[in-house]
Every structure is written in structure tokens, then in C-alpha cells.
Amino acid sequence: MSFDTTQVNGQAELKETLRTDELLLNMGPQHPSTHGVLRVVVTTDGEIVKDARPEIGYLHRCFEKHAENSEYIAVSPYVDRLDYLASMNNSMGYAIAVESLLGIEVPRRAEFIRVIISELQRIASHLMSYGTYGLDMGAFTAFMYGFRDREMILDIFEKISGARLLYNYMWIGGTYRDITPEIIKQIKDFLIYFKPKVEEYNNLVTYNKIFLERTRNIGVIDLKMCHSYGLTGVMLRGAGLKWDLRKDHPYSIYKEVEFDVPVGTGQMGTLGDCWDRHIVRMNEMIQSIRIIEQLIDGIPEGPHRAKVGKVIKPPAGEVYSRTECPRGELGFYLISDGSGKPYRVRCKSPCFMNISTLNELSQGVMVADLIATIGSLDIVLGEVDR
Amino acid sequence: MTFTEYLGVVKDATLTTFKGMGITFKIFWKVQSKGDITIQYPETRDHLPLGSRGLLFNDVDDCISCKQCAVVCPVDCIYIEADKKEAGSQADFTKGGVKKTLDLKRFEIDVSLCCYCGLCSTVCPTECLYHTKEYEYSVLDRDKHIMNYMDYKR
């Protein structure tokens, strides 16, 4: 602020003591509400956020360069570590990309297992999002309940794949292990248990007045902004556009199952606000249950993995494949030069697009609303930095 | 905001909060009647399911030094050295009856690098390399995480 020297001493002194200035605030990388190692450099004017610049790169692991020096099958453990809350969906996307490069048909049993498991993973990922969003908004109970139910899904995954977080289960040509009747029964039990829970969570958090007041009309992303930033997934559906790759460009066996695409309606505030994105996630869990219920009884007999051989050598060429992950469209662009290692693996991650909107969303909002906005973007820094 | 609207907001907030508290207490009593559900870790341990991917183990008597595991490993943490067998030495077979043509000199895995992906145990032709259910092997010295499986030779 400019200092007026022409004034008398007393007034100048007063002005100096009451001097207002913008404050540079570092949020993260250790702050719990940044959902990982995200650092946001916030310029605040009192309680108002003037500018919020996300600093990324703390979790950069050179995924794309590593992939160029690994065999096709050895890339999939790296792919698991992109979005570590939805490993199954990630590795399914990569497997589909390599399979279309190889031109092989995946056995029907494997397709059924894949879709069931990836929908379970979607529920687990949305539960995590629901839990941490509740935690950001000050509802600790929601976090506990979300994690309790996610634990049941992780138990199923531990039985089927042998690991709890980074599964490496969706392999090129099928799956790592076969599904057993015991696991099918466990999935059915989980669905019976979980079905009424979504309604309960909605009553607990979603329609709570305090939660409503903190999330509605906050962080509004309209369709124009979605298109200019290239947002996909929940962001786009929260803004009111019915776009879901599982419906519009069906891969695997999504063509055969019936489900609705939940969209934001702006019923509690503005279309595309934080609350709309939250309700879209909650409704997607119900749709995922519907998909699993349709498939779980009709898993056909047969092999769970196609014969691909130990060394995978696709013909020279390139392919771009995209799948609908819990956080948006995950794309893989592969170039093969005919050798055993990929020439180039490019990963288009939805979280990077989501986090890039943060600066525009946080112009002139309160600091507390910035937390609400980051929470509703549902970012995973493993995927932003790769 | 008029006073009536303000009262409405207060009413909404109270009602929804009590609705949430009702759900919380319902679950709270259910859990109370069930007893402890937290596993008191060092005293009691959870049962790991079949096929859990823990510490790797290699039965060197069955290993034919084919190095397929070292090739497929995404983080290159398996170190194998093998020589040609000396001429005239006795023929050596694995339990499965596969003839060993190489003499294994070194088989080490740096488990601090291992990412437990399970690729090495899948490609192993004699199934001598497999994941155990062992998961408690923290050490103070990082060098001790280089597991030398030649020591376990029967």
C-alpha cells in the first residue's frame, strides 16, 4: 500500500500500524486437506482468496520414461501406482490399450470379472472421496463409515489378487487369478449389506444443513469451463452433461448392462457446484451396485486369461484407448515399434485437468470454500504427477 | 433474510443434525453389542487369505537359473549369477525332474526394492520362487534387506 508522506506524523503512524497487505500462505504439502502431497500457494486478502496456485510435482516418478524401458507386462505395476485409490480401473485401461494393439480377444469370463471388479473399485474410490470430503467439511463420522465399508471391498480384493492396495490384477489378455464361488458369495453379501448404506450416508452427510450450506453455490464449474479445461468424469456430469464412456463409447461388456448416468441438476444451489459433484458420486455408487447385480449371477465358464505368451510383442503401430475411471477419462496412447518394449507410453490423466481449474475456481472465495473446492475435485496426486 | 426464513434455517439445521445423530447412535449401539472389532495387532493377528503376496522365497534346490524372474521384474531387484556346470560333474535334477544345466552361484533379492507385483512368481517354470505370507521383516540396516537365498540351502 502506498505511504502518504504529506500527512502529519500522527496520522501516518496510525496508517502504518493499520497497514493492510496481501498474505502469502503455503497450504501443504503436508496439510491433510490437500489430499496428498499437493502444495497450494494461496494469496489471501484477509479471509478472501485472491489467487491459489497449485504446485505439483512432489510425487513425480517418471512413469512414462520407466515404461519405455520395461516390457509390456512389467508396465502394469507402474500403472497401478498412478491412481492408487482406483488401481483396478487404471490397469484395466492399460490392458485394454495393449490388447487393442495386439488385436486379441479377451475371454468372456475375464470380461465379466473385470467389469465386476472395476465397479467394486469405483465404489471403493467414491467411498474414499465421500469420507475425506466429509472430513474436510468437519464430519469425522462419515470418514469412519466410509473407510469401514471400503475395508470390506479391500478384503474381497485381497482374496482375489493377494494384495490390498496395488493389485496388479488386470493383466494383458485377462486377469491374474480366477474368481472363486467363495469370492462371488462374499461380493453378494457385500452388496446386500451396502445397498441401504448409500441412503444412510445421504441422510448423514449429503442432506445435512451444515454440509449443504458449505458446499452449495461454491466452486461452480459450468459446461463452458468444462470444455475449455477438458474436464471429464464426475466434473462433467456434475455440470449437467450426460457423458459417460461406459454408455457413449462402451468398452468391455458395458454394452450389455443397464444403468443410468447420474447428472447434477442444481437442485440445492447452482448447477455444477460442489454439492452437485458430491451427489453425482453418491448416485454413481448405486449405479455400480446395479451393474454388479446384473453380472454376478451370470459369469460364464471358460478361461480367465487369453493365451498371450510370456513375451508380448505387438506389431508396430499406435493406439489410443480411453476408459471411464472414477475420476474421469483415463487415456493411454501407446506406440509400438515391434519390439518387446513400448516405444512410447503416454498417459492422459483426468486429475491433472481437474486440479488445473483450482486457480480459476478460487478467485475471490473464502479460505474455507477453497478447502471445499479442493475436496470436491477429488484429486489423487499420484495421477496428477505420474 | 427475514426472521421467519432465519427460523426456518435453524429448524432445518437442528432436524438434519438430529437425523444424522440418530444414524450415528444406531450404529454405535450395534457395534457396542458386537464387542471389539479392532484387531489388537501385536497380540492378535489377522488371518491372511490364500495367495497373499508377502516376502518372496526361492527354493534354490529347484532353481534352474533361467533368469526369467530377473528379466520380467519391473524394478530389477533380483540378482542371479550362474556358471556352466563343470564337465564330468554329477547330473543334478529338480524335484519336478528338470535337469539343471547351470550351477547357481548367487540368488539375491533386494526386498526393499520389491513391489510385490507377483510377476516373477508367475513366470517361474519350476515354481521354486513364490510369495510367502511373511510380512514382518523390518530391519535397522538397509543391507539386511538383501535376502540371500543360498543360505537356506538344505
3-state SS string for B53-74? CCCEEECCCCCCCCCHHHHHCC
**B113-137 average pLDDT score:** 86
Contact between B16 and A209 using a beta-carbon 8 Å cutoff: yes
Pairing of strands B99-100, B92-93: antiparallel
Q: What is the pLDDT of residues A218-260, one digit of tens each?
A: 888 888 888 899 888 888 888 888 888 888 888 888 888 888 8
Q: Using the beta-carbon criterion (under 8 Å), do B117 and A168 form an inter-chain contact?
A: yes
Q: What average pLDDT score do residues A165-179 get?
A: 87
CB–CB contact B119 A73 (8 Å): yes
Q: CB–CB of B53/B116 below 8 Å?
A: yes
Nearest Cα of chain A lies from the Cα of B104 at a distance, in angstroms, of 23
DSSP assigned state of B146: E
pLDDT computed for residue A6 by the predictor:
52
Any idea how long chain B is? 154
pLDDT at position B135 is: 85
User: In the prediction, which pLDDT does A9 show?
Assistant: 63
User: Does A208 touch chain B if contact means CB atoms closer than 8 Å?
Assistant: yes
Give mean pLDDT, residues A280-289: 91
Q: List residues of chain B with CB under 8 Å from any CB of chain A.
A: 9, 12-13, 15-17, 19-20, 23-24, 27, 48-53, 68, 71-74, 115-119, 122-123, 131
The mean pLDDT of A69-75, rounded to a whole number, is 87
Residues above pLDDT 90, as percent of chain A = 10
Tens of pLDDT, residue by residue over B53-102, are 888 888 888 888 888 888 888 888 888 888 887 776 777 777 777 777 77
E strand or H helix that includes residue B42:
none
Preferred mutation among A82, A155, A209, A311 to probe B, highest tally of B CBs within 10 A = A209
Residue A296: closest CA among A163, A167, A183, A193: A183
Strand duo A317-325 + A174-175: pairing: unpaired
pTM of the model: 0.87
Q: Which three cell numbers stand for residue A228?
A: 475449455
What pLDDT, in 10s, does the model give residues A325-369?
A: 888 888 899 998 888 888 988 988 888 888 888 888 888 888 888
- Distances in Å between the Cα of A12 and the Cα atoms of A3, A16, A19, A20 are 8, 6, 10, 14
Residue of A141, A176, A200 lying closest to B118 (CB–CB): A176
Q: Helix B3-34 to helix A140-161 angle, to the nearest 10 degrees? A: 40
Q: Indicate if the pLDDT at residue A127 is higher than 80.
A: yes
Look at residue A214 and tell me whether its pLDDT is greater than 70. Answer: yes
- The residues spanned by each domain of chain A are 60-219+299-385
pLDDT of A333:
92
Question: B118 to chain A: nearest residue by CA?
Answer: A168
- Gyration radius of chain B's alpha carbons: 28
> Domain A60-219+299-385, what fold?
Cytochrome-c3 Hydrogenase; chain B (1.10.645)
> Is there a cis peptide before residue A29, judged by omega within 30 degrees of 0?
yes
- The pLDDT of residue A123: 92
Q: Are A209 and B53 inside 8 Å of each other by CB?
A: no
Q: Do A163 and B27 touch (CB under 8 A)?
A: no
Contact B49 A71 (CB under 8 A): no
- Per-residue pLDDT of A292-301, as tens digits, reads 999 888 888 8
Contact assignment for B9 to A209 by CB distance below 8 Å: yes
Contact B20 A176 (CB under 8 A): no
pLDDT of A381 > 50? The answer is: yes
B24-38, B44-58, B77-91, range with greatest mean pLDDT: B44-58
Q: How far is B86 from chain A (nearest CA, A)?
A: 31
Tens-place pLDDT, residues A33-50: 667 788 888 888 888 888
Give pLDDT, residue A3.
52
ipTM attached to this prediction: 0.83
Q: A64 and A53 in contact (C-beta within 8 Å)?
A: no
User: Do residue B119 and residue A204 have CB atoms under 8 angstroms apart?
Assistant: no
Higher per-residue confidence, B93 vs A77: A77
Mean pLDDT on A204-209: 87
pLDDT for the residue B154? 43
Say what angle helices A181-201 and A108-136 make with each other, to 10 degrees. Answer: 30
Which chain A residue is nearest to residue B12, measuring alpha carbons? Answer: A209
CA A99 to chain centroid, in Å, comes to 24
Question: Mean pLDDT across the stretch B99-121?
Answer: 84
pLDDT reported for residue B61: 80
The pLDDT of residue A103 is: 85
Identify the closest residue of chain A to B70 by CA–CA distance: A74
User: Choosing among A165, A208, A212, which should be mutated to test the B contact, i.e. which has the most B CBs within 10 A?
Assistant: A208
Pick from A161, A176, A210: CB nearest B13: A210
Q: What is the pLDDT of residues B131-143, one digit of tens each?
A: 888 888 888 888 8
